[in-house]
Chains A and B, each alone.
Chain A
Amino acid sequence: MADEVILLDYWASPFGMRARIALREKGVKFECREENLRDKSPLLLQMNPVNKKIPVLIHNGKPVCESMNVVQYIDEVWSGKNSIFPSDPYQRAQARFWIDFIDTKVYEPADKIWSTTGEVQETAKKDFIEALKILEAELGDKPYFGGDNFGFVDIAMTGYYSWFEPFEKCANFSIESECPTLMASAKRCLQRESVVNSIPNPDELFALALKLRKEYGV
C-alpha cells in the first residue's frame, strides 16, 4: 500500500519549513495543505486538538505534531537516506539541547523583531544577537551544526535563516556583521536543494511582515 503523507502547513512559518525540508531531504512524496491560521480547518483542529498549530504531519491517517517532533519522526520512518539526527547518544543529547535553546532563546526575540518598534524592538535585537552568538560559538569552524552533514540543528535554524533578511529590514541591522561564521553556514543551508524548494522568497516574507505590522498598528 502506498504511503499517504499530508502536511498541514502555513507558507511563512519557520516551523512548517522545517517539516518540508525534512520530507524533501528524504525524498518523500507528500501533499502540502495550506492552512488559513485565522480560520483553521476542521482537519487541523481534529489532528492537533491540544495546540491547534501547524505543522502537523498526517502519515496514513495518524497525526504527528510539533515541528522537531515531526522532523525526528520523518528521520526514523524514512531512515534509508540522508540521516538527520545523529546516532551517537551524546551527539543526540547535544542536538536536542540546542533545539530547545533555539526554540526559546532565538524564537522569543525573533518574534518581537518584526512585530514591534522602539525600545521593545531594540531589546529584542540585542537578545536575538546574543543568542545567535552563543550558537555561533557552538558551530565553531564546522560547515554545519551537524559537522560535515546538514542535520537536525541545521534544519531547525534554517526556518529562521529564511527570515533573517526580513528581520534585518524590519529592525535596521546586519546579522552578518555580528555573526559572520553563522551567516556563512546559513548561506550554505539556504543553497541546499531541499531548502530552496521549501522556503519562500525573503521579499514575500518581508511583504507579509509589513502587512501584519500595518494591521497591528506598529
Chain B
Amino acid sequence: MGLINGVNNDEYVRLLGAWPSPFVLRTRIALNLKRVPYEYLEEEDTLNSESVLNYNPVHKQIPILIHGNKPIRESLNIVMYVDETWLSGPPILPSDPFDRAVARFWDVYIDEHCFTSINGVAVAKDEEERKMAIAKLEQCMALLEETFQECSKGRGFFGGDNIGFIDIGFGSMLGPLKVLEKFSGVKFIHPENTPGLFNWADRFYAHEAVKPVMPDTEKLVEFARLKFNTSIFK
C-alpha cells in the first residue's frame, strides 16, 4: 500500500479521456460536482493506447475511470459510480425509485436517439439524408423540452434546483449541438420552440461544475471539420 501524490493507492482516481468527447465531459462534471480530486490523462489515440486496451479490452473506448486499481467504463455507468461512491456531495440521481427510473430512461434515450441523430447529421452523405437526420433531431429536442418542463417543475434544471443525471447526460451534448447549429444553419435549441431548454443551456454552461471542463465551441468546430470529412462541414 503506497501513496501517490499523498493519496492512498486504493483511493487514487484517474480518468482516461479525450477533450472533445461528450461522454468524457459527463464524467468530469460528475467528479467536479462531488469535488473528487483526480488525475486527468488525455488519450490522443485511443485505438492504439496501451492504457485504454488494458483497462477496457472489451470496447477499447474512453472514458475510463480508474479508482485505485478498479476500472469503471461507460460514461453513464461512471456517473452513477461517482454518485454512489462519493456520498458527501450533492446527489446526482434522485432517491425515489420512480424518479430514478425516469432519469435512467431519459439518459438512455439521449444516447440512443439524440446522440445518434447528432451523429446522423454530421455524417449524412447528401442533402436528403441530412434533412431526415435534422428532422429526427428536432423531434428529440421537442421531446426533451417536454421532459424538461415535467422534471424541472419550474426550477432551473432537470434535476430540480441542482444539476442531476439528465442534466449531465443531455448537457454534455450541447457542444456537439452548437457545432451542428453553426454548420447546418438550424437552431436546435430555440428560444421560441424550446424555451425551457434554451434558458437551461445557459444555466448549465455557467454551473461551477461544468464551466471549467466544457470544451470551447470554436475548438469543437475545428475538431469536427477535421474529423468529419462530409459535405456539411465544408
Contacts and interface: CB of A to CB of B under 8 A. Distances in A.
Interface string A47-67: 000100000000100101110
B232 interface: no
B77 A64 contact: no
Nearest to B147: A50
Interface stretch (A96-104, A148-156, A191-199, A205-213): A96-104
A123 interface: no
A201 interface: no
B72 A93 contact: yes
B72 A73 contact: no
Contacts of B77: 93, 96-97, 100
A134 interface: yes
Interface string A36-80: 000000000000001000000001001011100110110011000
Contacts of A89: 81, 84-85
A216 interface: no
Interface in B64-95: 67, 70, 72-74, 77-78, 80-81, 84-85
A96 B80 contact: yes
A89 B72 CA distance: 10
Specify the main secondary structure of chain B where it touches its partner.
helix
Give the contact-size bracket for chain A: 20 to 34
Specify the main secondary structure of chain A where it touches its partner.
helix
B105 A69 contact: yes
A73 B97 contact: yes
A23 to B, nearest CB: 14
B145 to A, nearest CB: 14
B143 interface: yes
A77 B72 CA distance: 26
Given A90-B67, A90-B72, A50 B85 contact: no
B86 to A, nearest CB: 9
B3 to A, nearest CB: 21
14 contacts: A50-B109, A62-B98, A66-B105, A70-B101, A72-B101, A76-B97, A89-B81, A89-B84, A90-B67, A93-B77, A97-B72, A97-B74, A100-B77, A101-B58
Interface of A: 50, 59, 62, 64-66, 69-70, 72-73, 76-77, 89-90, 92-93, 96-97, 100-101, 134
